[in-house]
Structure 1
Amino acid sequence: MEIGVLPDPALLYLPLATYQGDMDVVVDAGQSVTMYQLVAASSGTFAATIHAPVSGEVLGVTEIAAERYLTIKNDFCYTEKALTVPDTAAWTSEDFLQYLLYAGIEGSGGARFPTHLKYRVAPSTIKTFIINGAECEPYLSADYILMKTAGAKLMAVLQIIQRMLMPDEIVLAIEQQHKELAVPLAQMAKQFGLDIALKILPNTYPQGGELQLIKSVTGIEIAKGSIPAHHGMIVSNVGTLWAMAGAFLEGKPYTERIITVSGNRSRTLGNYRVKIGTPLGHILRETQHEWNQQAQTVILGGPMMGRAAVSPLQPIHKGVGGLLLLENADPQQMNCIACGYCVDACPQHLMPLEFVRHNQEEDLHQLKAFHLEDCIACGACAYVCPSDVPLMYHIQVGKEKLRQERSDTSV
């Protein structure tokens, strides 16, 4: 299995939304930009940056599916901004964090949490640094192929992390289905002078979530909303480490990632290197598919935690690890029968059936009382529901209402 490379699109749409808020565009419409040039940034606690994946012309900001994007017209010249490989050996802790921000590194597993903020800890305060290789959602294999083909780059990054954070131990967590990677990765770690423990996990879902993975690896259960670093732990996704490798070893900001193209409607299965901002319609065409909402649902991400796309212009962002084509189901939605299956399936010990009722009643107080914000949106509740109640819809809408309430309150 190799990583394929797709032709780049004529237009790229760079997401301006961040983990919290939006970035400000720092280039003008009509301006020419070089590859790797900074084009948007935000400041504050959750500061973020994004860079041009290609050279070309800035066309301005456009809205796609209620989100803002900076549009760049590709000139296919690939004129690069001069890159400088950082001298990581001379870094202080602050140099390390500032470079993570400069390079636009953020969580690649879906959450898009700024890596510079996650790693802002005092050296030697982290007991366990966990590499999340538990790619537990069906169809996805981008992290697997990175562990299989880019092990040396991952180890080089871990050397730097070891020096900067000084954790007591580094643990690589992979699932039983990928256990053949254990020996070669352990051997490679030794070549880089790293003492990495390997944790083989059962093939269960949703243990790829940060808190679930911490419990699987350490046996410690951390409450939702707690900061793992305060408990002496940091979890980083394999895809995030790969993005850091491009920055640390080559001086390249985070402008491309590996995604899986798959699904039960997909004719071309595989993993591909694509530019951030590549519209999914372009990827569909280049992999011999089409945009057909009548026959299929296109998911950005995994089948459980991903989001259904509503426009072929929606692009790949830094947290998208998959593009799935799934045959449209015809669920016969019925009323909730209070069977409690969703409660049993919830890894956060929540009551998803209550989210539906109180979202329909617009009762934000009760949504908070039933801890909607502790939901990790894993989709396990919807998967087991015998009545096909649209649990994830109500969870997403309810969370958006709570976010809007916070925003209104802060104004």
Structure 2
Amino acid sequence: MHIFSMKRDTKKKSIEKIDNAPLLYLSLSQHIGKPAEPVVAIGEQVKKYQIIAQGAGVMSANIHAPVSGIIQSIGKHPQAEGSMTDMIVLANDFRYEELVLPSDDVAGLTPEQIIALIKDAGIVGEGGAQFPTHIKYTLQGHKIDTFIINGTECEPYLTADYILMKEYTSQLFEGITIVNKILNASRIVLSIEEQNKDLLDVFRPFLAKTEYNHIQVKVLPNQYPQGGELQLIKSVTGKVLPRGVLPRDEGIIVSNAGTVYAVYKAVAERKPLTERIVTISGEESKRIGNLEVAIGTPISHILQSQGLSGIPDEDIVVLGGPMMGKNVVDTSAPVTKGSSGVLLFRKKEIKRNNCISCGYCVDVCPMHLMPMKFEENYRKEKYSQLEKYSLSLCIECAACEYICPSDVPLIESIKKGKQKQREINN
């Protein structure tokens, strides 16, 4: 499906940094799996890069202090959409004290040592899934044939990955090499969309180097949701993975460009994941650009950097992209490891109508599902019927709602339906 890009202006904006916020809110659930467990106490003084919460169990990830300061509190705090989750509140002391980080020769590291560094750094997928990266790279005997670096960034407005690939190219390519020391893939593909083919000129000097000449850049059509893992695999390799099969089991690993950059920082510089690039845009945004912000920065702080003290009554703020992002109901909620944008839009009155059975939602669904059935069964409170139509396979790309001529609340029913499923299963 083709949708309007809306990236032209922010693609021209170089990476900027804003002043760190006085208070940072570090969610203990910035990843798929169990929440991290605090390893600090209220009132404790911490330095930048210090671990403040440790991954719990197999599926979890560490969290580190993005600034130096004092642990103000540990407890419930709102997320962007209003739900409450446990967070560590860190009061910035603006002393800029950092842990002394160790250094070592990257070339001499074994795959196991690299995975350990990735785990220690708390790296998760920055494309939105927030899957702990050290788990993804633990191959358990599987042979990887194809390593795909996902630089397609198909959501409108977002240019965080684009600007990273353009300005941090050297670190990205070194990160690719580091990751492939683990994967040992025979084919490495860096994917970008047609609208970003100007990056070919940026990549060319690197691809000419002996150490990188085995990396292939594949330019894909401007389609949504091109950046979805399964959709990208099909576009790059031609393979259609069966439902329920992990890419690793088919010899494929996909990582977002931002994730690979974070691996470079963790291994080459020994720096944990404490900041990321966020696109600031939207039709009502007073200032657009690509900001490198500390993870845990409140959305309100980013709005203030645009000259806004809050959300105007006639506007809405979205954390992430306009298709898969979350409408912000509390601006004290923070940027997390998976937050790619803060977008400001004019609020629009949407008149919801009944489904007319046109089938457009089925036509555009990349997972070949029947979204209208999710809405119907959720509305009728037939929650046990949702999985009959494979609700768990929905990637929440919102293509169905985008194309719906009746503005049926498909995504709302999908997200709330999944929540009902979790409640039933628990």
- Change in Cα spacing, 1:329 to 1:213, as seen in structure 2 (3 Å) is same
CA distance in 2, matches of 1:329, 1:10: 33
Aligned counterpart, 1:109: 127
Aligned counterpart, 1:306: 325
Q: Give the counterpart letter for 1:7 in structure 2.
A: D
Range that drifts further, 87-96 or 22-31: 87-96
Aligned counterpart, 1:79: 97
Q: Give the counterpart letter for 2:65 in structure 1.
A: A
Unaligned residue ranges in structure 2 (runs of 5+): 1-12
CA offsets, 1:131-174, max 9 Å, x none? 10101110000100011111100111112122221101100110
Aligned counterpart, 1:91: 109
Unaligned residue ranges in structure 1 (runs of 5+): none
Structure-1-length-normalised TM-score: 0.96
Range that drifts further, 175-184 or 190-199: 190-199
- For residue 177 of structure 1, the aligned residue among 195, 201, 207 is 195
Alignment RMSD: 1.4
Equivalent runs, 1:44-83 vs 2, <5 Å = 44-62=57-75, 63-64=77-78, 65=82, 66-83=84-101
- For residue 396 of structure 2, the aligned residue among 351, 360, 377 is 377
SS in 2 for 1:236: strand
Q: Give the counterpart letter for 1:56 in structure 2.
A: G
Moved over 4 A (4+): none
CA distance in 1, matches of 2:304, 2:71: 24
CA contact (8 A) 1:14 1:276 kept: yes
Equivalent runs, 1:9-158 vs 2, <5 Å = 9-17=21-29, 18-62=31-75, 63-64=77-78, 65=82, 66-121=84-139, 125-158=143-176
Query: Identity, % of aligned pairs?
Result: 44
How far did residue 363 of structure 1 move? 2.2
Q: Give the counterpart letter for 1:248 in structure 2.
A: V
Q: Give the counterpart letter for 2:112 in structure 1.
A: E
How far did residue 21 of structure 1 move? 2.5
Structure-2-length-normalised TM-score: 0.93
SS in 2 for 1:98: helix
How far did residue 43 of structure 1 move? 2.7
How far did residue 190 of structure 1 move? 3.2
How far did residue 12 of structure 1 move? 0.1
How far did residue 403 of structure 1 move? 2.0
CA distance in 2, matches of 1:336, 1:314: 34
CA distance in 2, matches of 1:46, 1:179: 36
1:215 aligns with 2:234: yes
CA distance in 2, matches of 1:184, 1:123: 36
Aligned counterpart, 2:4: none
Aligned length: 407
CA offsets, 1:79-115, max 9 Å, x none? 1111113433232222121111100010000000000
CA contact (8 A) 1:123 1:164 kept: no
SS in 1 for 2:88: strand
CA offsets, 1:1-41, max 9 Å, x none? 31011010000000111311211111000111111110012
How far did residue 68 of structure 1 move? 1.8
Considering Cα pairs closer than 8 Å and 6+ residues apart, tell me whether 1 or 2 has the greater RCO: 2
How far did residue 67 of structure 1 move? 1.9
